[in-house]
C-alpha cells in the first residue's frame, strides 16, 4: 500500500461495492437465490471492474515532471511544483507524492484531477530544516479510472540535487544597509575619532556630526551643508572560529547553537569583506576540520559559504588547545579572533588559558556564546517547595561560578559575551565594528 514501484490497487470504492454486493447476495441467498446466480453476479461485477481497469491510461500516456530550486536556505519557505500531462483518452483523478527526503516538509499526497489531453501544474510548499546536500529521484503517482474502482501506481524518475545552506537573511540585511540593520536590532555603530582613518565620502550634514568636518567647498557649491566622512583603514585581519563540539548541538528556539554560530559567522564575514578586510575561518571540534585562509573581497564570501554550509555537530568534546595551537602557526599577522562556542564549557578548559595568554600578546580575542535560557529562568524562580529551592540554589551556584571564572579570564584581556540567540549575529558585527573604529585591531 506504499507509493513505491508499479502496480494496480483496488480502491475503497471497489471494496465498498464488493462488500455491499456480498451483503445483498447473502440476504437473497436466504430467500432462495441459488449458487449459479451468485457466481454469475460476481463474474459480472468483476468483468465491469476489469473493463474499468483497462480504461486506465498507461504510463506512456502520462508525463510527470517537477521544478524545485536547487539551493534552499535552512528553514525558509519556498515553493516547488510538478506538472502532470495526460495524453490519454480519459480524464483521471490522481494523487502525487514527491520523493523528498524525510527532513523536508511533507504536504503530500496532493490530490487533483486532469482531463484528457490536458496538463496541470500544481505548486506545493517546500521547507528544509536541515542543512546539507540532498539527491532526489522519483515522483510517485496514483491515478484512478472514471468509475474509480481501481488505481494504477507508477513512478517517474527525475534526478535533482539540492543544496540546503544556512539562513543568510541577516547577512543579506547587513549587505543591503549596515546601519539600518544594526539600528533595527538595537545596536548603534560608534563613531570613531573625527578625521582619523581613510577618507570615505562627502555626505549631507546631520545632527550630531562634528562641525570641524564640514566641507566648506562642497557646501558653497551645492548650497547644502556637507561633511567629510572617514572610515577605519582597510586590510585588517579577522579570524572566525566555529566550535562544532558536542555542546554546540544544544537545541534552541530555532535550530541549535551551531546553526546560530554559522549564521553569525557569515554575517561578520560579509561585514568585514565589505569593508575590505581579510577574513579567515576555522571550524574545529576534537581537531581542526576546516581552515579557510584569509582573503579579501566579497567573492571570498561564496568560498566561505561553500566550505561551512554543511558543518555538523560532532559527538566529541571540543579541543580548544588544539585549535589555539593551530591558530598560532596559521595566523602570524595581528587579527581579531572571534570564537563562537559555549562559554560554560570553555571556562572548564584550564589548558586553553595558557595558549590564549600567548595569543593575546599578538591578537585581539573575543568569545561570543548563547545564553542558557533554562539556567536564567531557574535562577529567577520563586521557589514554593523544598525541591524548587534546591534547584534554584544549584542554578545560582552554576551562574556564580560562570561569572567568577569569566571575570578571571577577562582580567587576562580575554573578552567574553553571552547574548540571546536572536542577537548573536548583530552582537558579533557591532563588536567587530566597535573594535575597528576604536583602532583596537
Tell me if 298 is assigned to some domain: yes
- Residues spanned by the domain of 422: 234-437
Tell me if 16 is assigned to some domain: no
Q: CA–CA distance from 51 to each of 29, 44, 139 (Å)?
A: 27, 11, 27
Tell me if 171 is assigned to some domain: no
Q: CA–CA distance from 328 to each of 97, 150, 237, 267 (Å)?
A: 53, 71, 14, 25
For residues 210 and 320, membership in a common domain is answered with no
Nearest to 394 by CA among 368, 410, 375, 373: 375
For residues 256 and 402, membership in a common domain is answered with yes
**260/370 Cα distance (integer angstroms):** 9
Task: Give me the pLDDT at residue 7, please.
Answer: 84
Could you tell me if 242 and 262 are in contact, meaning their C-beta atoms sit under 8 angstroms apart?
Answer: yes
C-alpha cell at 389: 529551592
The DSSP code sequence of 284-309 is ESSSEEEEEEEE-STHHHHHHHHHHT
**417/428 Cα distance (integer angstroms):** 9
Length of the chain: 441
Helix (H, G, I), strand (E, B) or coil at 150: strand
The backbone region for 117, taken as left when phi is positive above 0, alpha when psi lies in -120 to 50, beta otherwise, is: left
Could you tell me if 134 and 126 are in contact, meaning their C-beta atoms sit under 8 angstroms apart?
Answer: no
The backbone region for 121, taken as left when phi is positive above 0, alpha when psi lies in -120 to 50, beta otherwise, is: beta
For residues 275 and 154, membership in a common domain is answered with no
Full pLDDT tens readout for the chain, 441 residues = 566 778 888 888 888 999 998 898 888 887 788 888 888 888 998 898 888 888 888 888 899 999 999 999 999 999 999 999 998 888 888 999 998 998 898 898 999 999 888 999 999 999 999 999 999 998 999 988 778 888 888 889 999 999 999 999 889 888 887 777 776 555 555 444 444 556 677 888 888 788 888 889 889 988 899 988 776 556 789 999 999 999 898 888 888 999 999 999 999 999 999 888 999 999 999 999 999 999 999 999 999 999 999 999 999 988 888 888 888 888 888 889 999 998 888 877 777 777 777 778 888 888 899 888 787 778 888 888 888 888 888 888 888 888 887 788 777 777 888 888 888 998 899 888 888 777 776
For residues 314 and 277, membership in a common domain is answered with yes
Nearest to 15 by CA among 153, 152, 151, 154: 151
For residues 146 and 287, membership in a common domain is answered with no
Task: Give me the pLDDT at residue 333, please.
Answer: 85
Counting Cα atoms < 13 Å in the Cβ hemisphere of 152 gives 19
For residues 136 and 209, membership in a common domain is answered with no
**142/156 Cα distance (integer angstroms):** 11
167, 232, 324, 287: CA torsion to nearest 10: 30
Which residues, 6 or more positions from 79, have their beta carbon under 8 angstroms from its beta carbon? 123, 124, 125, 126
Dihedral angle sign, alpha carbons of residues 288, 291, 294, 296: negative
270 φ/ψ angles, rounded to the nearest 5 degrees? -65, -40
For residues 290 and 143, membership in a common domain is answered with no
Tell me if 316 is assigned to some domain: yes
Tell me if 240 is assigned to some domain: yes
Which residues, 6 or more positions from 385, have their beta carbon under 8 angstroms from its beta carbon? none
Q: Which residue has the cell 523536508?
A: 104
404, 410, 414, 417: CA torsion to nearest 10: 70
Task: Give me the pLDDT at residue 2, please.
Answer: 65
pTM of the model: 0.77
For residues 244 and 197, membership in a common domain is answered with no
**198/232 Cα distance (integer angstroms):** 6
Q: What is the CATH number of the domain that holds 90?
A: 2.60.40.10
C-alpha cell at 42: 460476481
For residues 161 and 206, membership in a common domain is answered with no
Tell me if 88 is assigned to some domain: yes
Rounded to the nearest 5 percent, the helix, strand and coil shares of the chain are 40, 30, 30
**117/90 Cα distance (integer angstroms):** 8
Helix (H, G, I), strand (E, B) or coil at 275: coil
**134/164 Cα distance (integer angstroms):** 8
Question: Quick check: bond before 156 cis, omega within 30?
Answer: no
23, 28, 32, 35: CA torsion to nearest 10: -50
Could you tell me if 327 and 282 are in contact, meaning their C-beta atoms sit under 8 angstroms apart?
Answer: yes
Element (H, E) at 200: strand 198-204
Per the structure, how many domains does the chain have? 3
Determine how many CB atoms are found less than 10 A away from the CB of residue 346.
Answer: 22
Q: What is the CA 278 to chain-centroid distance, rounded?
A: 26
For residues 274 and 218, membership in a common domain is answered with no
For residues 388 and 239, membership in a common domain is answered with yes
Amino acid at each position: 500500500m506504499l507509493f513505491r514501484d508499479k502496480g494496480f490497487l483496488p480502491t475503497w470504492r471497489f471494496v465498498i461495492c464488493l462488500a455491499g454486493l456480498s451483503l445483498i447476495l447473502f440476504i437473497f441467498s436466504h430467500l432462495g437465490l441459488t449458487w449459479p446466480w451468485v457466481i454469475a453476479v460476481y463474474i459480472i461485477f468483476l468483468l465491469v471492474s476489469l473493463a474499468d481497469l483497462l480504461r486506465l491510461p498507461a504510463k506512456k500516456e502520462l508525463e510527470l515532471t517537477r521544478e524545485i530550486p536547487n539551493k534552499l536556505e535552512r528553514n525558509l519557505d519556498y515553493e516547488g511544483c510538478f506538472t502532470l500531462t495526460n495524453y490519454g483518452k480519459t480524464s483521471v483523478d490522481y494523487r502525487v507524492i514527491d520523493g523528498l527526503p524525510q527532513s523536508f516538509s511533507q504536504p503530500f499526497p496532493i490530490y487533483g484531477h486532469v482531463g484528457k489531453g490536458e496538463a496541470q501544474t500544481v505548486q506545493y510548499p517546500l521547507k528544509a530544516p536541515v542543512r546539507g546536500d540532498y539527491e532526489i529521484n522519483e515522483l510517485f503517482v496514483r491515478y484512478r479510472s472514471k468509475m474509480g474502482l481501481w488505481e494504477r501506481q507508477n513512478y517517474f524518475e527525475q534526478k535533482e540535487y539540492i543544496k540546503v545552506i544556512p539562513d543568510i537573511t541577516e547577512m543579506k540585511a547587513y549587505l543591503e544597509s549596515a546601519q539600518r540593520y544594526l539600528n533595527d536590532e538595537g545596536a548603534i555603530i560608534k563613531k570613531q575619532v573625527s578625521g582619523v582613518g581613510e577618507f570615505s565620502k562627502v555626505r549631507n550634514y546631520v545632527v550630531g556630526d562634528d562641525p570641524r568636518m564640514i566641507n566648506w567647498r562642497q557646501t558653497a557649491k551645492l548650497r547644502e551643508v556637507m561633511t567629510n566622512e572617514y572610515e577605519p583603514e582597510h586590510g585588517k585581519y579577522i579570524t572566525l572560529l566555529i566550535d562544532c563540539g558536542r555542546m554546540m548541538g544544544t537545541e534552541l528556539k530555532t535550530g541549535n547553537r551551531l546553526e546560530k554560530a554559522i549564521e553569525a559567522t557569515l554575517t561578520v564575514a560579509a561585514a568585514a569583506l565589505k569593508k575590505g578586510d581579510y577574513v579567515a575561518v576555522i571550524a574545529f571540534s576534537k581537531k581542526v576540520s576546516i581552515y579557510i585562509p584569509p582573503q579579501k573581497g566579497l567573492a571570498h564570501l561564496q568560498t566561505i559559504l561553500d566550505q561551512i554550509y554543511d558543518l555538523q555537530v560532532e559527538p566529541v568534546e571540543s579541543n580548544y588547545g588544539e585549535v589555539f595551537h593551530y591558530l598560532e602557526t596559521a595566523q602570524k599577522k595581528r587579527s581579531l579572533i572571534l570564537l563562537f562556542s559555549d562559554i560554560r564549557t570553555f571556562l572548564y578548559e584550564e589548558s586553553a588559558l595558557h595558549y590564549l595568554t600567548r595569543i593575546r600578546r599578538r591578537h585581539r580575542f573575543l568569545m561570543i556564546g548563547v545564553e542558557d535560557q533554562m539556567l536564567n529562568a531557574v535562577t529567577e524562580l520563586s521557589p514554593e517547595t523544598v525541591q524548587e529551592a534546591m534547584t534554584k540554589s544549584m542554578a545560582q551556584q552554576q551562574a556564580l561560578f560562570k561569572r567568577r571564572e569569566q571575570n578571571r579570564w577577562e582580567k587576562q584581556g580575554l573578552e567574553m559575551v553571552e547574548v540571546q540567540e536572536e542577537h548573536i549575529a548583530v552582537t558579533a558585527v557591532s563588536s567587530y565594528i566597535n573594535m575597528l573604529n576604536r583602532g583596537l585591531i
